Amino acid sequence: MRKHKALDILRHSAAHIMAFSVTELFPETKIAIGPSIENGFYYDFDRDKPFNPQDLTIIEKKMEEIIKNNYSFIRHYISKKEAINKFLAKGEKYKAEIVLEIEDEKVSMYESGKFIDLCKGPHINSTGELKYFKLLSIAGSYWRGDSSKKQLQRIYGTAFFSKKDLNNYLTKIEESKKRDHRKLGKDLNMFTIDNTVGSGLVLWHPNGALLKDIIENYWKRFHLKNDYELLSTPHIASEELFKTSGHIQTYSENMYAPIEIDGNPYRVKPMNCPMHLIIYKTKLHSYRDLPVRYAELGTVYRFEKSGVLHGLLRVRGFTQDDGHVIVSSEQLENEMLKIFNMAIDCLKTFGFNKYKIYLATKPKKKYIGKVEDWEKAQKSIENTLKKTGYKYEIDDGGGAFYGPKIDIKVKDTIGRLWQCSTIQFDFNLPERFDIFYINSFGKKVRPYMIHRALLGSLERFIGILLEHYSGELPIWLSPVQVVIININEEQCGYCIELLKKLKKNDIRSIFDDRNEKIGYKIRESAMQKIPYMVIVGSKEENTKTIAVRTRKNKNLGIMNINNFISFVRKNIKDNI
């Protein structure tokens, strides 16, 4: 058995043991669902009284007791009718609802001790096989993820086969808490999300807005260098556009309600692609024009349920690192390779050098397009990935309904994976918008279309950057690269001269002229993660020099300003 599959079974069994414990300790509690997930497991409970952190300790102790008793996991098959009656007799309405939706006449039940649960399995042989686990947190959840239904309480936990793996994971969680971008964003004066403005809507402070601008300027230069044309499209559009694209029919739950303008319904845009295709259609294209490469940093708005909003990582309004490439079938493979290499180059520039790469294939049920077209596209993507030299995995059935894709996940400094780049094939929109090009024989031909994002949303990417670097951004990304600190007021004139010279050389600098003790100002600058501190006292002013320290409290000694400028500019160049 593959290790990750065995770990899923262990964790799913741990969820059952946790539910067993909860129902023993709090008999009035009703149970919903309890799957294994990527890093552990959870179970959803319906209980009037909220769980608290102390309850988790009590539940853990009860789980240890159940584990010690070494109850076997025993599978039974019973009729749907019998299962429904059993669950309703115990008031377990959520389980009864699930049973009603099962097509088979018999259902699978697992018994361990006094606890019986609806489950397909498989499970570990007995509760005693679970040894290393930890309950982690409590959260809210809606039954079936539907906010119109009752809110439940979700308890998260994790489990491993060894104590070492568990301890490593718990250490990673603690490190993740220290790196939480929401705390760093506040400490570094980057951004605010305020309910007065609206949940999931980001207010960028000067430092955050400057960081976003630095990334955007790099992104634009990078795309122009790679033969893309930059576009800019409106934030709203006629509802008819999104009917043509199919978003009203398939994506309306993620879109905001229409607004009426001149008697016609308009929508704030959830995607940029329909407008890009309207631009494509404004002129006739021949095969000589292809590939057509469009790119836009377009702000889009999507309705996300309040329960899933999370700092910059999940928001309702965001700037999308968006690109669309129109190609002929003959160009598809080369263009996919070009985009893949662009993505890797871009991610490396920001300091990400470890990746997990996936080829997401045709969904099992709902998809559009001919099977042979899917197979051709998937084969092209597979050929592309083989040429890259990178290892990749097949995400069977993980493609969107409109085409297969490549997903690139980056690994950060503490080993967490983040989804960033996506290269998505699309069978849908070229057909819906009836786009074409004229081939060498003068005939109309339907081109292929590739959606691609290298960074994802800028909001999310900045959140990832802050956590990856724990706020200590590379010098080229740091909103403030140098802070000048005077010892007393006598040096103010000299410090202002230094500030002007640094700014003239495009080094982002500030002068901290507050009437505070030097030690306090140094500590605060270090906490602000500013890469370099220039300390100026009477000695430095008299000798026209500066004393330089780093944010890690390393003393770089005495320099003259010109040497320091050369030193900083070289470090900026080496960082990019």
pLDDT digit string, tens, across residues 154-202: 999 999 999 999 999 999 999 999 999 999 999 999 999 999 999 999 9
pLDDT at 4: 62
Name the H helices within 205-306.
206-225, 239-245, 247-250, 273-280
pLDDT of residue 363 exceeding 60, the answer is: yes
Average confidence (pLDDT) over 470-490: 96
One domain for residues 53 and 93: yes
In a domain, 185, yes or no: no
Judge contact between 449 and 331, C-beta under 8 A: no
> Token pair of 10, please?
């262990």
Total Cβ atoms within 10 A of residue 372:
8
pLDDT at 76: 92
In a domain, 473, yes or no: no
One domain for residues 223 and 283: yes
- DSSP-assigned letters across all residues of 481-517: -EEEEESSGGGHHHHHHHHHHHHHTT--EEEE--SS-
pLDDT at 1: 36
Is 177 catalytic? The answer is: no
In a domain, 188, yes or no: no
Is 302 catalytic? The answer is: yes
Judge contact between 193 and 232, C-beta under 8 A: no
In a domain, 375, yes or no: yes
Cα separations in angstroms, 411 against 178, 353, 387, 453, 465: 18, 8, 22, 17, 11
One domain for residues 295 and 414: yes
Instruction: Encode 122-182 in three state secondary structure.
Output: CCCCEHHHCCEEEEEEEEEEEHHHCCCCCEEEEEEEEEECCHHHHHHHHHHHHHHHHCCHH
Residue range(s) defining the domain that contains residue 217: 193-233+272-468
Q: Which helix (H) or strand (E) holds 115?
A: strand 115-118
| Residue 2's pLDDT band (cuts 50, 70, 90) | very low
One domain for residues 20 and 67: yes
Q: What is the CATH number of the domain that holds 198?
A: 3.30.930.10
One domain for residues 295 and 335: yes
| Residue 55's pLDDT band (cuts 50, 70, 90) | very high
| Residue 149's pLDDT band (cuts 50, 70, 90) | confident
Domain count, the chain: 4
Q: Among 406, 441, 468, where does a domain finish?
A: 468
In a domain, 187, yes or no: no
Total Cβ atoms within 10 A of residue 469:
19
One domain for residues 462 and 443: yes
Q: Among 445, 468, 491, where does a domain finish?
A: 468
One domain for residues 296 and 425: yes
Q: Which helix (H) or strand (E) holds 562?
A: helix 561-575
Q: Among 468, 491, 525, where does a domain finish?
A: 468
Average confidence (pLDDT) over 116-121: 92
In a domain, 423, yes or no: yes
Of 55, 322, 407, 426, the active-site residue reads: 322
Q: For residues 212 and 202, what is the distance between their CA atoms, to the nearest angstrom? A: 12
Q: For residues 7 and 166, what is the distance between their CA atoms, to the nearest angstrom? A: 12
Q: For residues 409 and 468, what is the distance between their CA atoms, to the nearest angstrom? A: 13
Each residue's pLDDT tens digit, 93-115: 999 999 998 888 899 999 999 99
Q: For residues 318 and 302, what is the distance between their CA atoms, to the nearest angstrom? A: 9
Of 154, 247, 293, 405, the active-site residue reads: 405
pLDDT of residue 351 exceeding 80, the answer is: yes
> For residue 519, how many C-alpha atoms fall within 13 Å in the half-sphere facing its CB?
0
Contacts of 202 (CB under 8 A, 6+ apart): 191, 192, 193, 312, 315, 317, 318, 459
Q: What is the CATH number of the domain that holds 149?
A: 3.30.980.10
**Which segment of 138-147, 361-370, 491-500 scores lowest on mean pLDDT?**
361-370
In a domain, 332, yes or no: yes
Instruction: Encode 52-114 in three state secondary structure.
Output: CHHHHHHHHHHHHHHHHHCCECEEEEEEHHHHHHHHHHCCCHHHHHHHHCCCCCEEEEEEECC
Q: What is the mean pLDDT of the chain?
A: 93
One domain for residues 220 and 103: no
In a domain, 448, yes or no: yes
Q: Cα 227 vs. chain centroid, distance in angstroms?
A: 28
Each residue's pLDDT tens digit, 216-233: 999 999 999 999 999 999
Of 324, 521, 529, 551, the active-site residue reads: 324
pLDDT of residue 148 exceeding 90, the answer is: no
One domain for residues 48 and 140: yes
One domain for residues 165 and 205: no
Of 134, 293, 316, 320, the active-site residue reads: 320
CA 299, 300, 303, 306: dihedral to nearest 10 degrees? Answer: -20
Is 420 catalytic? The answer is: no
Is 405 catalytic? The answer is: yes
Each residue's pLDDT tens digit, 379-434: 889 999 999 999 999 988 888 777 889 999 999 998 889 999 999 988 889 999 99
Is 123 catalytic? The answer is: no
Q: What is the CATH number of the domain that holds 490?
A: 3.40.50.800
Of 95, 302, 452, 460, the active-site residue reads: 302
One domain for residues 488 and 418: no
One domain for residues 228 and 355: yes
Nearest to 36, CA basis, from 110, 101, 111, 123 = 123
Each residue's pLDDT tens digit, 270-307: 999 999 999 999 999 999 999 999 999 999 999 998 87
Of 273, 346, 420, 495, the active-site residue reads: 273
| Residue 375's pLDDT band (cuts 50, 70, 90) | confident
